[in-house]
Amino acid sequence: MREAGEQALKPGQRSEIEVLKARGVTVGFGDKLVLENLDLDVYRSEILGFVGGSGTGKSVLMRAILGLVEKRAGKIEVFGEDLDKTSPEERAGIERRWGVLFQQGALFSSLNVRQNIQVPMREHMNMSQRLMDEMALLKLEMVGLPRDAAEKAPSELSGGMIKRASLARALALDPDLVFLDEPTSGLDPIGAAAFDDLIKRLRDALGLTVYMVTHDLDSLHSICDRIAVLGERRVLVTGTIDEMMQVDHPWVKAYFRGERALRRAEQDEV
Amino acid sequence: MTIQAARPAPTLTTSMGGERMTVAIGGGWTIHASREMEDLLIALKPGVSGFVTIDMSGVTHLDTAGAWLIHRLQGDFEFKGSRVEFVGLSDKFKSLVGEIESHHPPTWKPRIRGRSIMGLLEATGRQMVEIGKDVVAVCHIVGSLAVVLSGILVNPRRLRGISVAVQFDRSCIGAVPIVALMSFLIGGIISQQGGFYLRTFGADLYVVDLAGVLVLREIGVLLTAIMVAGRSGSAFTAELGSMKMREEMDALHVIGLRVTEVLILPRLLALMIALPILAFIADLSALFGSGLVTWAYLDIPPQIFMQRLNEAVTLETLWVGLLKAPFMAMIIGLIACVEGLKVSGSAESLGLHTTLSVVKAIFMVIVVDGLFAIFFASVGI
Ligand SMILES: Nc1ncnc2c1ncn2[C@@H]1O[C@H](COP(=O)(O)OP(=O)(O)OP(=O)(O)O)[C@@H](O)[C@H]1O
Ligand SMILES: [Mg+2]
């Protein structure tokens, strides 16, 4: 459980406690290494934006942290526990404290949205059906889905609705750490802005730590406290958006000071 | 930071002071203690009193579940006509409580599932409609197959030879070992069982007639068809179904390809070529098994077996069996494809339709076998 007093950090005030700490992580498929000797820290109650070109391994790193992909070397600590050394009970305790939004949503296709949100509650908690139903609808509202979406099957949802429903499931147990893989891709700009706003409000209200893979320059500018850039099989740089503007690496430069980025910056100034 | 720091249990105490009721809430109000929180709230029956103060100063941990339950408690009091005020809400929880208050899930109603005679009738009716739709779907596919086939007659290059070959490899070559082994055992079992029974009449030798006719006319092709329905029929349904789930069918449509031409025809053709061949292999290995068993158990040497077999069966007997094979293959293929196309978005429906495909195909294969038996009897073969 998060300790009292740490629940709401004021903006700008950064906690120095690492929620996630990766050291020397190496992941490969066949004879091709996707990540090599990668280090990464994520601090409590921050929103970390994770960027990198398509196919550089952002999703693979997230899956490696979650234990879905075998890593060849390295150490990953979550909530101060080395994930390779935890007992099954400790592991279950950690799993209860994180929530994941997969790139494709990964809703259970044979359950409707309400039941999807209730899966973690049903499996991990002892709750009455009434409270579970109320909590599911509450989470649904919080992520901005209409009420009638609750009884819909995942195949009946639009792409953006799948993202939201999947976020509602990730938030079902009020996790301390959420992994979001491209949460705003495929959303309209208004919807994406509302999604960003939602993540920020949740962070402020619940003290969430957010690990967000995104290509959305608007999200990076508006809500991310810190940005990490993945390239050349490792984390190239980390820092605030202003620090990113100073970096000289060609890819980072093209990303943050390319034509699209500059157009955005101009709009900001207007 | 530890995994499971000791969580203080939620507490709730009430006290009355004249008109005013004070509810003091304390400890950890989080989802981990949902059952305790709910029990505390059930035990507290909101009575009628003018003013209620909810004192939150003792709360150490709060999350959405706890905040929601407290919000619900407030609603219950207000519904009874009390005026509720909060005191002692610490700053760090203010944004959370605000977040909860801005959302109002509708009042909860338990779901009731009706079960009655009407429900049974309704289900039966729906089943009948489903069967009707199945028939229409089969006709639809047969119709579009006819269109595709006539197109191929005009322009033979539109036949996808490579697809047919790949499907043939999977549904025929791959099935040879298991079909041969199964038939070998069945041939052996028939001779062994029949042989001992016939021996009591001193008619051992007639076991060759029994096995020969039974295997060639019925068992060989029927068992092969059942095996193929389980093996290839289910594979077709699962393949088409998962392609449907992932919008691959829609992609074919918009590229301007016909699903019937690209996916269904090659599978159907391959199966219609494969099943007679498999049935023939099954016949041979069943007779081989039968020959071995009669030799070992009934002391009928191979030469005598062959001689007797020659007298008992003719080429016609073999043809009667093999003639049925392409029809059975068509039925298996059609049912598999219809079921595959009926798969909707969920993994559950994929499983359901794969099962249905195999069950329906086996059932229909047996029905068709019966129809053929009537037909052959009436033409006197
Ligand atoms: N299961 C797998 N087997 C083999 N290679 C894989 C596998 N999963 C991913 N890869 C490879 O790893 C690399 C990184 O993939 P990943 O999905 O992490 O990209 P990404 O950074 O998330 O890209 P995007 O922004 O497009 O989502 C790619 O080159 C991909 O081909
Ligand atoms: Mg990805």
Q: Find the CB nearest A174 among B31, B92, B93.
A: B31
Q: Cα dihedral sign for A79, A80, A85, A88? A: negative
Query: Can you give the pLDDT at residue B50?
Result: 76
The domain made up of A18-97+175-269 has a fold known as Rossmann fold (3.40.50)
pLDDT band of B337, cuts 50, 70, 90: very high
pLDDT band of B292, cuts 50, 70, 90: very high
The domain made up of B11-101 has a fold known as Transcription Regulator spoIIAA (3.30.750)
Residues of A in contact with B92 (CB under 8 A): 4-5, 7-8
User: What's phi and psi for B297, nearest 5 deg?
Assistant: -95, -40
- Please give the model's pTM, rounded to 2 decimal places: 0.71
- Chain B 149-178, CB below 8 Å of chain A: which residues? none
Q: What is the pLDDT of residues B162-192, one digit of tens each?
A: 889 999 999 999 899 999 999 999 999 999 9
Amino acid (one-letter) located at A31:
D
Q: Find the CB nearest B3 among A79, A131, A206.
A: A79
Which of B9-18, B40-49, B140-149, B342-351 bottoms out in mean pLDDT, i.e. has the lowest?
Answer: B40-49
Q: What is the pLDDT of residues B204-248, one digit of tens each?
A: 888 999 999 999 999 999 999 999 999 999 999 999 999 888 878
**Chain B residue at shortest CA distance from A18:** B1
User: Residue B27 forms beta bridges with which residues?
Assistant: B59
Q: What is the pLDDT of residues A149-181, one digit of tens each?
A: 888 888 888 888 888 888 888 888 888 889 988
pLDDT band of B48, cuts 50, 70, 90: low
**Residue B137 touches chain A, beta carbons under 8 Å:** no
Which residue owns the Cα nearest ligand 1 atom 26?
A54
- Which of A96, A131, A203 is the best substitution to test chain B (most B C-beta atoms within 10 A)? A131
Question: How big is the A-B interface in CB pairs under 8 Å?
Answer: 111
Residues of B in contact with A137 (CB under 8 A): 105-106
**Residue B29 touches chain A, beta carbons under 8 Å:** no
pLDDT average, residue stretch A27-40:
88
Q: What is the pLDDT of residues A128-153, one digit of tens each?
A: 888 888 888 888 888 888 888 888 88
Quote the percentage of chain A above a pLDDT of 90.
1
CA distance to B12, B24, B88, B132, B179, per residue, from B58 (Å): 10, 8, 8, 66, 74
Q: What is the pLDDT of residues A53-104, one digit of tens each?
A: 888 888 888 888 888 888 888 888 888 888 888 888 888 888 888 888 888 8
Cross-chain Cβ contact B65/A174 below 8 Å: yes
* Residues within a 6 A CB radius of ligand 1: A 29, 34, 52, 54-60, 103
Residues forming CATH 3.30.750.24 domain(s) in chain B: 11-101
Cross-chain Cβ contact A109/B345 below 8 Å: yes
- Which of A138, A145, A147, A197 is the best substitution to test chain B (most B C-beta atoms within 10 A)? A138
**Measured distance between the N- and C-terminal CA atoms of chain A, rounded to whole angstroms:** 44
Residues forming CATH 3.40.50.300 domain(s) in chain A: 18-97+175-269
Classify residue B149 by burial, with Cβ atoms within 10 Å: 0-12, 13-18, 19+: middle
Residues of A in contact with B68 (CB under 8 A): 134-135, 138
Q: What is the pLDDT of residues B61-118, one digit of tens each?
A: 888 888 888 888 888 888 877 888 888 788 778 878 887 887 776 677 777 666 778 8
pLDDT band of A9, cuts 50, 70, 90: very low
Question: In which order are the strands placed within the sheet that holds B11-17?
Answer: B11-17, B20-29, B51-62, B83-87
CA distance to A118, A119, A137, A150, A172, per residue, from A125 (Å): 10, 10, 17, 21, 11
Beta strand A226-231 with A177-181 is: unpaired
CA–CA distance, A33 with A28 (Å, rounded to integer)? 4
Contact B60, B93 (CB under 8 A): no
